């Protein structure tokens, strides 16, 4: 079996380490290179754990591409770094799988145009958790019956962007003018509530990410499927559409 060759940017960060560990455990994926601000020229095993030994670390995207020949570029860094590399990556033929939030809309429009021009697929997804995906799907359905809605997103104290990309994307799917309340406190990780108000009742949807390991399966799915695309997708469900179980037809 020919494995998909993956480059991971942000591999030494908290989310990046968890994603890296998940990727190296997949028999059909091969983590061939990492990008990191520190440790370039070294080994990822020395920076992020012995299970990642043998993965070379590079300072720049083009250098990593020339040396390791990745097919898919996974990014969990910062918006400024992603914006700097997006068009370059697509022009090199890399398929971006981006979990970094805060990318400016105009940069995404540039990515969409370039991806279409060169025929390269990309996934820019605010949350790779399967649970967060299901919350969004449920919220869209509930909103048909409960038009009055607000979002509360709660994250760890060091999260830079406010509101979170997850909340912004959900608000967009619900109609755009949904109020968002942001909480940043020690002890939290990543949590989202969607509150719907009705006549004499309130309906609440909530998702809690208790460990960054929850992002691994979604990222791996995106890596496997992004090469089939020729456009940019923004929701995990677009990549999972073909995997939805189909109810069998009862005979007799």
Q: Can you give the CATH number for the domain in which 45 is found?
A: 3.40.50.720
Residues 106 and 34 in one domain: yes
- The pLDDT of residue 160 is 85
- The pLDDT of residue 249 is 40
Residues 18 and 45 in one domain: yes
Let me know if residue 248 belongs to a domain.
no
Let me know if residue 118 belongs to a domain.
yes
Let me know if residue 250 belongs to a domain.
no
Cα angle vertex 35, ends 115, 227, to 5°?
30
Q: Give the active site residue among 155, 191, 207, 225.
A: 155
Q: 13 lies in which domain range?
A: 4-124+213-243
- The pLDDT of residue 240 is 86
- The pLDDT of residue 156 is 96
Let me know if residue 249 belongs to a domain.
no
Contact 63, 38 (CB under 8 A): no
Catalytic annotation present for 251: no
Walk along the chain (252 residues) in steps of 10 and give the mean pLDDT of each run: 94 94 97 92 94 96 97 96 94 96 94 95 96 97 98 95 94 95 97 98 98 96 95 94 48 38
Structural domain tally of the chain? 2
Residues 93 and 176 in one domain: no
Catalytic annotation present for 159: yes
- The pLDDT of residue 228 is 93
Residues 83 and 192 in one domain: no
Q: What is the pTM of this model?
A: 0.90
Residues 111 and 136 in one domain: no
- The pLDDT of residue 3 is 96
Let me know if residue 72 belongs to a domain.
yes
Let me know if residue 141 belongs to a domain.
yes
């Amino acid at each position: 079996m020919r494995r998909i060759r993956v480059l991971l940017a942000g591999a030494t960060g908290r989310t990046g380490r968890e994603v890296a560990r998940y990727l190296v455990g997949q028999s059909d994926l091969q983590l061939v290179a990492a990008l990191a601000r520190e440790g370039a020229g070294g080994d990822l095993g020395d920076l992020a754990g012995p299970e990642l030994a043998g993965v070379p670390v590079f300072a720049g995207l083009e250098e990593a591409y020339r040396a390791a020949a990745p097919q898919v570029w996974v990014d969990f860094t910062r918006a400024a770094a992603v914006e700097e590399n997006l068009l370059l990556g697509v022009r090199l033929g890399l398929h971006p799988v981006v979990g970094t939030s805060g990318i400016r809309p105009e940069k995404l429009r540039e990515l969409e145009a370039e991806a279409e021009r060169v025929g390269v697929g990309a996934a820019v997804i605010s949350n790779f958790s399967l649970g967060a995906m299901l919350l969004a799907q449920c919220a869209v359905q509930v909103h048909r019956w409960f038009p009055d809605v607000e979002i509360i997103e709660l994250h760890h104290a060091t999260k830079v962007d406010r509101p979170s990309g997850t909340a912004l994307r959900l608000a967009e799917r619900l109609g755009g003018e949904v109020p968002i309340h942001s909480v940043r406190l020690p002890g939290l990780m990543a949590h989202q509530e969607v509150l719907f108000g009705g006549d004499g009742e309130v309906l609440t949807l909530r998702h809690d990410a208790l460990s960054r390991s929850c992002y691994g399966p979604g990222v791996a799915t995106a890596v496997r499927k992004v090469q089939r695309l020729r456009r940019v997708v923004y929701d995990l469900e677009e990549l999972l559409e073909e995997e939805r179980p189909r109810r069998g037809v009862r005979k007799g």
